[in-house]
């Protein structure tokens, strides 16, 4: 279960809060998509859920953990164990090849399984790139490496910021399908920020972020 309770965040110097008393309940294993105008606060919301940005007020609860109640070291451990993050800018390690980038977090967590990694890479159609240096990859290929890395340690919650932003329409559809299907199969809670209607509408609940609050467009996830 992912729960946000009356979360407010205002960046210093901003006239209004980017998140304004925002609440959300998403049952474990369900997926949610978040759309909204550029600059409305979608990436900020993901950063708050991940505990990477502290709200001025409100609580974020992932499973049994209220992140802000944990000391910093335990927050880091929690992120390593339980979160899979797909960043807009990929944040891959350019000194490693594709295989080692994808295995990195799973090795840190101690649940690296080569068979599972092969499966993920095949689903994302990058199996042939295992030995390739990152410098030889297109933006779309790097994006799929980043998605595999986020899923490989089998986290309880995956947060994906524009996971298909660099992909053509056909590849975007395939990658989004694989992401949603894998998360359903593994009972992983998934939050996807996207501008794509096609990607958004595959989620169990579709939200729009507007004026600092979430509105439910379709599905039965709860928000305010």
Ligand X SMILES: Nc1ncnc2c1ncn2[C@@H]1O[C@H](COP(=O)(O)OP(=O)(O)OP(=O)(O)O)[C@@H](O)[C@H]1O
Query: Which residues form the interface with ligand X (CB under 6 A)?
Result: 11, 18, 36, 38-44
Minimum CB separation from ligand X for residue 45, in Å?
7
Contacts of 83 (CB under 8 A, 6+ apart): 50, 62, 155, 156, 157, 158, 159
Q: With beta carbons less than 8 A apart as the criterion, state whether 192 and 207 touch.
A: no
Minimum CB separation from ligand X for residue 44, in Å?
3
Minimum CB separation from ligand X for residue 33, in Å?
13
Q: Which is nearer to ligand X, 102 or 209 (CB)?
A: 209
Minimum CB separation from ligand X for residue 114, in Å?
35
Q: Which is nearer to ligand X, 36 or 221 (CB)?
A: 36
User: How many H-runs (helices) and E-runs (strands) does the chain carry?
Assistant: 7, 11
Q: Which is nearer to ligand X, 41 or 51 (CB)?
A: 41
Minimum CB separation from ligand X for residue 37, in Å?
7
Minimum CB separation from ligand X for residue 86, in Å?
13
Q: Which is nearer to ligand X, 40 or 67 (CB)?
A: 40
Q: φ and ψ at 59, to 5 degrees?
A: -125, 145
Q: Which is nearer to ligand X, 14 or 170 (CB)?
A: 14
Contacts of 108 (CB under 8 A, 6+ apart): 80, 153
Contacts of 175 (CB under 8 A, 6+ apart): 124, 143, 144, 147, 163, 164, 167
Q: Which is nearer to ligand X, 43 or 117 (CB)?
A: 43
* Residues recorded for the chain: 224
Q: Which is nearer to ligand X, 105 or 194 (CB)?
A: 194
Minimum CB separation from ligand X for residue 18, in Å?
5
């Amino acid at each position: 279960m992912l729960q946000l309770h009356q979360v407010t965040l205002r960046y210093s110097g901003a006239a209004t809060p980017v998140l304004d008393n925002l609440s959300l309940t998403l049952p474990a294993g369900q997926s949610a998509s978040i759309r909204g105008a550029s600059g409305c606060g979608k990436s900020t919301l993901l950063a708050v859920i991940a505990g990477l940005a502290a709200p001025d007020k409100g609580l974020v609860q992932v499973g049994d953990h209220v992140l802000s109640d944990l000391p910093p070291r335990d927050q880091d451990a929690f992120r390593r164990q339980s979160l899979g993050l797909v960043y807009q800018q990929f944040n891959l390690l350019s000194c490693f090849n594709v295989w080692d980038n994808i295995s990195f977090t799973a090795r840190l967590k101690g649940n690296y399984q080569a068979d599972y990694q092969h499966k993920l890479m095949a689903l994302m159609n990058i199996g042939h790139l295992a030995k390739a240096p990152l410098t030889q990859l297109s933006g779309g290929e790097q994006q799929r490496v980043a998605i595999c890395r986020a899923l490989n340690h089998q986290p309880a919650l995956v947060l994906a910021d524009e996971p298909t932003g660099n992909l053509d329409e056909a590849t975007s559809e395939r990658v989004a399908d694989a992401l949603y299907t894998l998360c359903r199969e593994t009972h992983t809670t998934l939050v996807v920020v996207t501008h794509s209607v096609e990607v958004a509408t595959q989620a169990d609940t579709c939200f729009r972020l507007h004026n600092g609050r979430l509105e439910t467009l379709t599905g039965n996830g709860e928000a305010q």
